[in-house]
Each structure stands twice: as structure tokens, then as C-alpha cells.
Amino acid sequence: MTIQPVADAATTSAVVADPDRKRLARTTSTLESAGFSVASTPDEGELLRLLARGHPSVLIVHMAFSRAVPAGTAAADASGSITGAAPQEEEPGIPVLFLVDEDHDLSPDVLEMLSVSDYVRTSARADELIHRVQNLIRRGQRRSEVRGNSERLRQRLRGVSAAIRATNDPRNMSEQFVQGFGETFDADHVWFTTFDDERVPLITAQWNRYGLAQLPPRLGAHEPAARRAANRFWTESALLTVDDHLHYRPSPEDGELLDWMEAMGARASAVVPVGEGEAAFGILWIVNAHEPRLWTVAETALIRHVAGNLAYGLIQGHLINAQQLVLKRLHQLDQAKTDFLAMVNHELRTPLTSITAYLDMIHDGEGGPVPPGIEEMLTVIEQNSDRLRGLIEDMLSFARHDNSDDSRKAPVNIGHLLRMVTAVLRPMSTARDIHITLDHAGEDLVVGANEAQLERVFTNLVSNAIKFTPRGGHVSITAQKCGSEDQAAELRVEVADDGIGIPEHDIPQVFQRFFRASNASAAAVPGTGLGLAIVHDIITRHNGSIAVASALGRGTTFSVRLPLDSNRAAPGRTEPFQEAVAPGVIR
């Protein structure tokens, strides 16, 4: 027997397989007379080869060859389930008509197990055979049409999801969402709202067909019912679709919500919960106002899929916007703080300048001789004026962060700088009977830095050491080159005292702004908690580091490391310098 090739898809084609050659010829003739292009075979193996060569419009096979029908050959009716993911496209199957002998009776379960679309008795008339075959082909065509519509729908909704992902603004997401759904489903209204929920902002967005009035902006008194319905649908992984409100009988649970929708003029609608985790935080309503609408399973699955994308986007956008708002407010607070400190600095500096000027005039004798008792009072005023000036400078440095000075770097001779700092602090060490030792390895220790800022660093560190050391104590300042052959040369300056020390639990916080060690506050040692924060900031911006080691009641050592400037040299002597300085004496 010659096997005819299966016709291409443009022609209605059939494959017939039957071990009874006489019945096979009769079936083939019947189909050909109806205009089919037929390939037939009495052989089971040849049937498989025919199916491998092409995709016929219909397969007619005798029950004896049931095991040769590949699994999944027959296409099921277009259906699906409501899940959080978009349905996957399936390859179209081949409709199968099963030829059953008269003495066999097949139940629907058996037919389903055999992947058979329909069956007919071997004794059926020719017109009945053709009628069954044509019905199978029409059903297949409808399935193909549904698949095509589903793919077009899927492509449109991909665009909606892409628009949601393209922004972090929850309101913009919601507007893209309702507009995309309205245009995709050819709806009259699409309305979306969130409930009062900390996960998302409170938003209402709606899209309306041109010429139609807008829906109310909120649910009003119906919001509790809508929220209950949304949470129930969310828990059940379901949604509510109404093909025609005129013929829909709602359950008692949905009655109040359906009354509101019908009062808004809905004829057909879909209600979709939008949420995350265990609860919904919003509800979507798609409305046809004038005519019924059949909601397919593919449509409802895709609606839920895109609603899930919106839920994720709203949560992420809300978090991002909240973070940006916090950063903006922190920036505003920081600017307000800076402006306030600059204003306070100016307002304090002006009268202080006047006070110190008059003190200088009194000391110069412009007001006449000063009695001894008054001289002591003036000394106290002068000391407190200096202290106030230091506090003002701390606030100014804190307000400006000294950023404007970063670019003014030059070779700085550390030995010279440290001797200058020690000389400036002479009155303070003399008053407290503090011995200061200065030790550095000559004047070849040069760093590229802003000299004024480094002076500020070591002035703060040495003055702190003096301030927190009991009378008769000792403060040592050492500077030396460090580093190995594998490391860049560094300068290390240590300021050590034998003072009250820092509690161990306070050490990690000493460089924080406004922080003061607990024992400093308890001992009523004056200060603002800004000095070490300023020191840390300056050292960091000079690519250096600062560390602290302390033992309570035994003293504290601050160690500063700065990169040495190997390409620059400062004039001056290069021999090592070591000096033990008596209280208040600088040689």
C-alpha cells in the first residue's frame, strides 16, 4: 500500500490508522470524498512515522492502536487555573477520533486516559463520521483562536508590567496599571485603591473611557466590605468575576460590595485583590458598563499575575520613597544645624571680640593702674574668654567640616608644628602643674597637609591630655617615622598622658560628635564633645588614621598616623630633637 504524504497546514488533512484494511479503505474514501487529504496505514509503526512527519488536522485511529497515540496528542479545551503566575503557552494538540468496535464500551474516564477527544463506532454511517471529524476540527480551530488571543493579551500585559517596573513612584505605577488594563481589556472603567496599610501609600487611581464620568475617588462607607472581600479573595487565591450583573446572584458575603458596584453602573466586572504575604492591601475593579462580558480563565490568570507585579512594585517604591524622604529630611536638618551653628558662632564671636579687646586695653594700662585683686579677676575673665573662643572654634569647625580648606595643602614640618602647639598651651600646663615631654626625630618629618588643620588636631589632643591629667601629672608627645620596606612611609605621633583614662565601654564612641566619656561628665570636666570628632574628621580627610588606647585611672594614648611626603622637604635642622619640658617651660 502506498502511503500518501500528509498535506501541509493550509489543507484540511487527516491521518487514519486501522488494522482492518477493508475498514481502513472505507474510512479513507469517506474522508477524501469530503475534501480531506488523507494519509492512511494499517501499521502501528508507520502511524508513528506519519505523525512525526507533520501535523494533520485530525487523527482517526482504531482502538487497537491506542497505545501508539502519543501522550498529549489530543488538545484539551482551553482552560486553566487562577494562580499568581501567567499561564504558559502550550503546543496545540491533534484532535483524535477513536474508532470503537461494537462490542466495546468506553467510559469518559478511559477516553481521557487515552488522550482521545471523541469516539465513534466502527459501524457509524459516513455522514456521522464526517460530522464528528468536522466538529473536532472546529473545536481545534477555536482553541487555536483562544491561544492566539491569549498570546496577544499576554504581550499587552507584558507592556503594563514593564511600565510598572520603569518607575519607583507608587502613584505613577498605579496610573500606568489602570490605564494599561483599561486599554488591554477594552473596559469602560478601571479603578484601583489601597487601604490604610503601612506597607504601601494611600493611593486611588482610575482610568475611564473617553466621554464617561469618573467614578468616586474612594469607597467611603463601603470600604470595610471591600477590605473584607479583598482579604477573603486573597486568602483563597481567588478573584470575583461577574459576566452579567443582571443575572448574577451574589453570596451574602459579597452582597454589599456587589450593591456598590451595581450602583456605579456596572454590567460586567472583575474584582481582584492586590496584596502581599498574608493580607491584601488594595483592590482592583475592572468594569464594563453597558454589556455583559465573558471572563476567560487565561484573562483572570494574567490579571492576577500583573496585579502581583504591581503589589511588589508598590511595596518597593514605598520603601525607596520613604528612604529618600528620610535622607532629604536629614539633609535639611543638617543644613539647618549648620546654619544655626554659623549664626551662633557669629553672634558669640562679635561680643567676645569686644570683651577681649577691652581686656587688652586694661592690661595695657589705658584705663589706669589695676589693683592686685582686680588683676586676678581679669585673669579669670581672660581664661574664660579663651575657653569660650575655643568652644566657638569647635562649633565653627563642626559646622563647616573644614571642607573648604582641603585644597590648601603644603609641606608641613611636624617638629616645628608640635613645638608651636606646646608653646601655645604653656599657660594651660603651667596652671595645672603638668610636665610635658616632646620627642621627635629631627625636622625631616614632613607631611603634605593643611597646616592650620593639623595644628587644630594636635592642639585638641594635647589640651585634652592636659585637661584630663591631675595636677603634677605628665603628658608625652612623640613623633617618629614608621613603616617597612613593603609599606609606604608614615608619620606616627602619639600623645600620652597618665590621667583619669576612659572607661572601656566608652572607647568605641569617643570620636562621635557630642559624645563625652561618662567619667568626664561625672568629674565635671568642661567640654562639648566636639574636639575628638573634629580631630577624627581632619585626620581622615588627610588619608590618615587615629587610634586610642586607654586604661581607667592609668591614662590614655592617642596615636595619629599620616602619610609622609617623600617628594617634599622642609628647611631646617635634621638632628634628632628630644626635650623634657618642665611645667610651663618651653626651650
In this prediction, residue 194 carries a pLDDT of: 92
Q: Write down the domain spans for the chain.
A: 13-153, 155-318, 325-396, 402-581
Confidence (pTM): 0.47
**Full strand arrangement of the beta sheet holding 204-208:** 204-208, 189-194, 279-288, 268-276, 240-242
Lowest mean pLDDT among 155-164, 327-336, 381-390, 399-408: 399-408
- Residue that wins the pLDDT comparison between 104 and 476: 476
In this prediction, residue 445 carries a pLDDT of: 82
Confidence of residue 90 (pLDDT cuts 50, 70, 90): very low
Helix and strand numbers, DSSP H then E, in the chain: 14, 18
In this prediction, residue 11 carries a pLDDT of: 61
Q: Which fold has domain 155-318?
A: Beta-Lactamase (3.30.450)
Q: Single out the residue of 159, 207, 164, 162 nearest to residue 312, CA to CA.
A: 164
Cell numbers 595644628 correspond to what residue? 455
Asked if the model's pLDDT at residue 5 lies above 50, the reply is no
pLDDT (tens digit per residue) in 275-333 = 998 899 999 999 999 899 888 888 888 888 888 889 998 998 888 888 888 888 888 88
Q: Single out the residue of 199, 272, 196 nearest to residue 234, CA to CA.
A: 272
> Domain 402-581: what homologous superfamily?
Histidine kinase-like ATPase, C-terminal domain (3.30.565.10)
Average pLDDT, integer, range 259-277? 88
- Rounded CA-CA distance 254/531 in Å is 67
553: left (phi over 0), alpha (psi -120 to 50) or beta: left
Bridge partner residues of 576 (DSSP): none
Q: Single out the residue of 73, 67, 14, 22 nearest to residue 45, CA to CA.
A: 67
Asked if the model's pLDDT at residue 112 lies above 90, the reply is no
Tell me if 475 sits within 8 A of 458, measured CB to CB: no
Q: Compute CA 259 distance to the chain's CA centroid, rounded to the nearest angstrom.
A: 40
CA geometry: angle 68, 70, 74, nearest 5 deg: 120
Q: Which fold has domain 325-396?
A: Helix Hairpins (1.10.287)
18: helix, coil or strand?
coil
Q: Compute CA 75 distance to the chain's CA centroid, rounded to the nearest angstrom.
A: 44
Q: Which fold has domain 13-153?
A: Rossmann fold (3.40.50)
Asked if the model's pLDDT at residue 71 lies above 70, the reply is no
